[in-house]
Structure 1
Amino acid sequence: MHDPRFPGATILPFGGKTPRIHVSAFIAPGARLIGDVEVGPDASVWYNCVLRGDINRIVVGARSNVQDGTVIHVEGPRPENSVPTDGLPTLIGEDCLIGHSAILHGCVLEDRAFVGMDATAMDGARVGSGAMLGAGALLSPGKAIPPGEVWIGRPAKLLRAQGPEQEAKIAFQCQRYVELARRHKAAILGTAEG
C-alpha cells in the first residue's frame, strides 16, 4: 500500500491492523511495516528495515531509531505455553538506538537502550534502561540486561557498567538521528530542509 507521506516504503495492513505512524516520524524508502506496528513522534525507521507485526504488536517509541537493514518481529502464543498466553510483542521505548542489521524478536528495549550493529535479542529478552547490547552480541531467550550495563558476546555476558560519558554519547546519537531523519525526509519529499 502506498502512503504519500512515505514514498518508496511499504505500509501494509494485516489481520485487520494497519501500521500507525506519527506525522513527525520518518519511514525510509525500502522499509516495510506490516500489521500491528506503531511508530512514535520523531522516531525513524531506516532503509530496508522490516517490522512485521502480524501475530503480535510492535511499538517504536518517540525519538527511537531503527537503523538500516534491521528486522523486527514478534511471537504469538504457543500451545506448549513456553510464552505468555498473549505472546510476545516487541516493545521499544523512547530514545533507543538500534544499530544496522540488528534482529529483535519478541523482546523489550526500555528507554535509552542501545542495541549494536548485527546484534540479536530473542524471545522474552529485555535490554534495561540505558543498557547496551554490543555489536554482534546475542541476547538469549528470557535473558535481561539490567539498567546501565553493557553486555557483549554470543551468548551475551556482562562486560561492565555504563558510565556517564557513554550515556551522553547515546543521547547525542539519538538526537542526531532525529535531525538526520528530518533531513532525509525533506530530501525525499523535495522540501527546503534537504
Structure 2
Amino acid sequence: MTDVDATILESLRSNFLVVPEVFLHQELSMAQQETVEIDVEISALEAQMWALQEMRELSQSRCANIESLFAPIRRLPHEVLSGIFEHLVTTDAGDSDEFHFMIPLRLTHVCAYWRSLANSTPSLWSSISLRPTNQLQLRQYVPILDHFLSHSAALPLSASISLYCVSQGGYL
C-alpha cells in the first residue's frame, strides 16, 4: 500500500479530509485512467485468448482427422466394405423397422468414400419396402424411389409399397 492509499484510507475512516480536495481529484483521475488502461489490456488479452482457443480447436480437429486415418476400417478393401454394406441391407429387419430402406441412404452420409462406394454398389439399391401412413408421406417417398431406381443401375428394382388403411386400422 502506498502512502497516498494510506492517506485516503485515513480520510475514509475519520470522515475528515486529510489532503486537499484538488489532490483527491488528481488521484481520482489517475485511478480512473489506470482502470481504463487495465480494461484495454484485459480486452487485448481476451482477444488473444479467443484467438488461441480458435487455434486450439483447429489443432484438435487436425489431430482427430489424422487419427481417423489410422482407423482399421480404412484398411478394408472396397470389396469387403461393399460386402458389409450389402449384408446390412439384406439382413431381415422384420416388421419392427419400417425405416429399413434408409440404411443405404445412411451409409452415404458417413463420408465421401462411403457415399461413392454405396452409390456404386447397385445391390444396395435394388430393393425397397415403403409403408407410408398418408398421401403426403407417399409423395415424399418419390425422390427416394427415384434415387433407388437410378442407383440400382442394371439390376431390377423390387419395390413394395404398403398403404395404411384407416378403416381397417392397418397396412394393406
Q: TM-score range by the shorter chain?
A: under 0.3
Structure with a larger share of its residues in helix: 2
Larger Rg computed on CA atoms: 2
TM-score normalised per structure 2: 0.19
**Alignment TM-score, normalising by the size of structure 1:** 0.17
Q: Which has the higher contact order (CA 8 A, sep 6+)?
A: 2
